[in-house]
Amino acid sequence: MPRQSVRAPKVGLLLSVAEEAAGGRWNELKAMARHAEAAGFDSLWIADHLVIPFPAQPALGRWECWTILSALAAVTSRVELGTLVTCTSFRNPALLAKMAATVEEISDGRLILGLGAGYYEPEFREFGFPFDHRMGRFEEALRIIHGLLRSGGIDFEGQYYQARNCELRPRGPRPNGPPILIGAQADRPRSLRLTAQYADYWNMFIGTNDEDFTVMHKAVDEACIKAGRDPATLHRTASAMIDLPGSEKSPAAVQAYRSSRALTAGTPEELGERLRALAGAGIGHVQLWLEPNTRAGIDAFLPVLDLLARQ
């Protein structure tokens, strides 16, 4: 179950581990994470890319997601920590379950395990990972990861992965392991089915068209019903970019989020109202990219957090 928060929805911060962000060094990222925790954010999130894919721009380097995540688990004490999302093709799924259980232990049960199939072919090719049959590989990886985290063991032989008589030991502090998050679009029936089967959280990007949100919400509900699951048991999360007044947006950030039509701007009162409306529509947790993605950006967003806490 989600950890309790004083506000609705819970508010998370997406952190950049790109070489262009905050000087690109660990000490600055650590300071930013601690600053966000002290400011009252409920969670911190990291994307799992090996290079950053942006059209018409040179690819940017990144630090490795899980190494950074384990370090964040050790230098924070309250915020939840999530991957948005980790690519199952980049690591053997049984090993990824072991890694998740280890970060669960270090963080004392604060991990949210976001999983995805990946999509950017150049980074697969550059680092030597197969790009073919991504959804088939993803489904097999999900079966292994879910089985190990939930029951502690699995015996599986698939077309792409094997985990024969595999045990997950030792276990983290939560008996059933961390919650699993999957993002699925309304026009992706296979992703929706896997979300209904394996996920505890469903994630979407917030667009500028409320109709898109309604369609996606309905598609997820229908997938749960088809899988024999109560839609109310699948917690809903959403991601968006917050364009803070006067910010100088990095070209990388703007291209990433404009491509998903998730650019949001406004006064603290307007932003607070928008987030409260999401909570009223069933979104229990948001992950926000603040622009600028710096400690100054965190400070500029504090009035919104205060407004949400006072509702």
By the 8 A CB rule, do 130 and 124 touch?
yes
pLDDT value at residue 38: 97
CATH fold for domain 10-309: TIM Barrel (3.20.20)
Cα dihedral 176, 177, 183, 187, rounded to 10, equals -30
The residue among 293, 296, 275 whose CA lies nearest residue 7 is 275
Per-residue pLDDT of the chain (311 residues; tens, 9 = 90+): 455 566 789 999 999 998 876 567 999 999 999 999 999 999 999 999 998 766 556 667 889 999 999 999 999 999 999 999 999 999 999 999 999 999 999 999 999 999 999 998 989 999 999 999 999 999 999 999 999 999 999 999 999 999 999 999 999 999 999 999 999 988 899 999 999 999 999 999 886 555 577 888 899 999 999 999 999 999 999 999 888 876 665 555 555 544 444 457 788 999 999 999 999 989 999 999 998 889 999 999 999 999 998 86
pLDDT value at residue 1: 47
Which two three-digit tokens encode residue 94?
């049984």
The residues with which 250 forms a beta bridge, in sequence order, are: none
